[in-house]
């Protein structure tokens, strides 16, 4: 019998993630492959060898984890397509392209270099939340039978690039006078960016495209200050029209406009609403996550679309897109999802092409941002709070806020978000860290200060001190 006990800290809400050779190791990869493969076989009892696609990012531990993941899948009787090194969205694309039964990407995303993990798909849907917990329970119980599977290496890079550059077909010549700086951060998107920029008109400066799991130039996070400074400095040097950065596995985008302003994910989503080619806009809803500004919300509505605020988390948003047939969604963190002419998953490379397609039609991001009303928005603030108490704290807060605010001014689907005459504030529990997340936005500096005071007071009443984690 095969049986395994995963470190409980690696079984996260959206994926499986831990520190290599501390909380996560090659045996975990093998056992994940085996028990996931058996899970797929049970769902497809008439299929002798379910097809699973696996890929990996450029972290130093990814090759050994990929090898063991593949071995576990073979042991469960699966047929495995190994697409090798590439961004997570390429893995998602391959899953659709090959009509796979499941897919797994080995990736540490934007975490420090000693982290790694797995993003999982089953039948083109995210495998997360309860699915991951059930898999952990299944492994603890064990399974007696093994099977004979097989694997092969396949190439998908060219097909992926061909697909993601479709939005600029026929308008490529309009980009000849545009300059774009791309920062790959030595992450898995590098080779794909080198490939696609050769197929696009204009002047393209690509930084750090060589994949290096040590991330020698900066942390692979497109919202990190060091990343943005390097990108901004290069843009000034070459007088670029836009700067685009990626996280370690290419599913999150960071953007700087021509005036040197970092663009938050919610405002970028509002801008990208311009690119939707749909007839019945009044029946289409763009999704923003709970941390998003009402400026973005109102701008989307001004385009004749509906807007909805939903749960944070790429898996939650992908699920919601399918539920309401949404053409576009975006998170503050830079996960952007297109489902109008694409597959509905978060793909930073495809998003970059949609931005460039707007540029080619003289719909410029810097002009759009300059038209937006001025508000006073806080950064995303993280306050340390133990996993043991953070959700109970939020539940207590919700009860008290619902007594103080009218129900129509409170959203409780992911923490508590309250709206008043000064603006809004949000307090939620992180699903990936021992932290409470706070954000607020005022109509003036004075309003922002008052919102901060209210948030501090409410957290103080729950015994949480105001110290950044």
| Cα–Cα dist 274/300, whole Å | 9
Partner residues linked to 17 by β-bridges = 117
**What is d(CA 14, CA 8) in angstroms, rounded to the nearest whole number?**
14
Give domain status of residue 188, yes or no: yes
Question: Which residue segment(s) compose the domain that 272 sits in?
Answer: 176-370
Helix residue ranges, H only, 142-256: 157-164, 190-197, 225-238
Q: Please indicate, yes or no, whether residues 151 and 192 belong to a single structural domain of this protein.
A: no
How many domains, the chain? 3
pLDDT surpasses 60 at 469: no
Q: Would 452 be classed as within a structural domain?
A: yes
Q: Are residues 186 and 90 in the same domain?
A: no
Same domain, 393 and 286: no
State how far the Cα of 1 lies from the Cα of 145, in Å rounded to an integer.
7
Distance of alpha carbon 41 from alpha carbon 190, whole angstroms: 35
Last residue of a domain, one of 339, 355, 370: 370
Q: Is residue 264 part of a domain?
A: yes
Residue 198 DSSP label: T
99 in a structural domain:
yes
Provide the residue count of the chain.
469
Are residues 189 and 83 both part of a single domain?
A: no
- Based on the fold, state whether residues 239 and 285 are members of the same structural domain: yes
- Contact partners, residue 293, CB within 8 Å, separation at least 6: 264, 266, 267, 375, 377, 441
More confident residue, 241 or 225: 241
**201 in the same domain as 130:** no
The CATH number covering residue 437 comes to 3.30.310.50
- Residues serving a catalytic function are 109
**17 and 63 together in one domain:** yes
pLDDT tens sequence across 110-145: 888 999 999 999 999 999 989 999 999 999 999 999
| Residue 200 and residue 344 in one domain | yes
In degrees, to the nearest 5, what angle opens at C-alpha 250 toward C-alphas 233 and 287? Answer: 100
Other C-beta atoms lying within 10 Å of the C-beta of residue 457: 9
> Stretch 206-215: mean pLDDT, rounded?
97
Give the pLDDT score at 257.
96
Q: CATH number of the domain that 38 lies in?
A: 3.40.120.10
Q: What is the pLDDT of residue 279?
A: 78
Contact 273, 305 (CB under 8 A): yes
Do 50 and 102 share a structural domain?
yes
Q: Work out the number of other CB atoms within 10 angstroms of the CB of residue 361.
A: 11
Domain end marker among 314, 344, 370: 370
d(CA 422, CA 377): 12
Does 153 share its domain with 191?
no
Same domain as 342, residue 193: yes
404 part of a folded domain: yes
Instruction: Identify the pLDDT of residue 226.
Output: 77
Give the rounded percent of residues in the chain with a pLDDT score beyond 70.
99
Range of lowest pLDDT (33-37, 418-422, 449-453, 461-465)? 461-465
Residue 296 counted as domain residue: yes
Instruction: Examine the domain organization and report whether 248 and 358 are in the same domain.
Output: yes
Secondary structure element (H or E) that encloses residue 137, with its range: helix 130-141
**8 A C-beta contact, residue 127 and residue 43:** no
| Complete DSSP assignment for 209-235 | -S--TT-SSS-S-TTSHHHHHHHHHHH
């Amino acid at each position: 019998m095969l049986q395994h006990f995963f470190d409980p800290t690696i079984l996260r809400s959206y994926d499986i993630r831990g520190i290599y050779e501390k909380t996560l190791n090659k045996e975990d990869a093998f056992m994940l492959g085996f028990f996931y493969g058996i899970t797929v076989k049970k769902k497809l009892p008439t299929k002798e060898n379910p097809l699973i696609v696996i890929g990996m990012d450029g972290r130093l531990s990814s090759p050994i984890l990929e090898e063991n993941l593949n071995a576990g899948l073979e042991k469960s009787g699966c047929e495995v397509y190994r697409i090798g090194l590439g961004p997570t969205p390429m893995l998602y694309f391959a899953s659709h392209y090959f009509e796979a039964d499941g897919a797994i990407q080995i990736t540490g995303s934007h975490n420090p270099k000693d982290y790694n993990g797995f993003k999982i798909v089953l039948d083109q849907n995210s495998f997360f939340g309860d699915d991951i917990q059930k898999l952990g329970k299944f492994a603890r119980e064990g399974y007696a039978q093994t099977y004979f599977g097989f694997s092969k290496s396949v190439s998908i890079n060219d097909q992926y690039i061909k697909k993601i550059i479709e939005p600029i077909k026929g308008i490529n010549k309009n980009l000849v006078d545009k300059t774009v700086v791309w920062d790959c951060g030595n992450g898995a998107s590098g080779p794909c960016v080198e490939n696609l920029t050769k197929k696009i008109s204009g002047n393209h400066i690509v930084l750090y495209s060589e994949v290096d799991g040590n991330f020698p130039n900066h942390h692979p996070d497109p919202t990190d200050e060091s990343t943005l400074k390097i990108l901004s400095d290069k843009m000034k040097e070459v007088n670029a029209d836009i700067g685009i950065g990626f996280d370690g596995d290419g599913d999150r985008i960071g953007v700087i406009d021509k005036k040197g302003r970092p663009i938050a994910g919610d405002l970028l989503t509002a801008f990208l609403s311009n690119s939707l080619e749909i007839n019945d806009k009044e029946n289409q809803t763009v999704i923003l996550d709970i941390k998003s500004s009402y400026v973005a919300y109102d701008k989307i509505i001004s385009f004749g679309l509906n807007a909805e605020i939903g749960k944070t988390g790429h898996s939650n948003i992908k699920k919601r897109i399918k539920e309401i047939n949404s053409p576009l969604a975006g998170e503050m963190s830079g996960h952007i999802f297109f489902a109008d002419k694409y597959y509905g998953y978060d793909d930073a490379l495809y998003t970059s092409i949609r931005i460039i397609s707007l540029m080619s039609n003289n719909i410029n991001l810097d002009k759009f941002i300059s038209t937006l009303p001025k508000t006073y928005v806080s950064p995303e603030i993280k306050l340390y709070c133990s996993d043991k108490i953070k959700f109970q704290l939020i539940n207590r807060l919700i009860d008290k806020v619902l007594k103080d605010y009218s129900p129509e001014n409170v959203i409780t689907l992911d923490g508590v978000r309250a709206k008043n005459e000064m603006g809004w504030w949000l307090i939620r529990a992180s699903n990936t860290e021992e932290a409470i997340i706070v954000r607020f936005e005022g109509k003036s500096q004075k309003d922002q200060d008052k919102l901060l005071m209210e948030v501090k007071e409410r957290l103080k009443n729950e015994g949480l001190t105001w110290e950044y984690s």
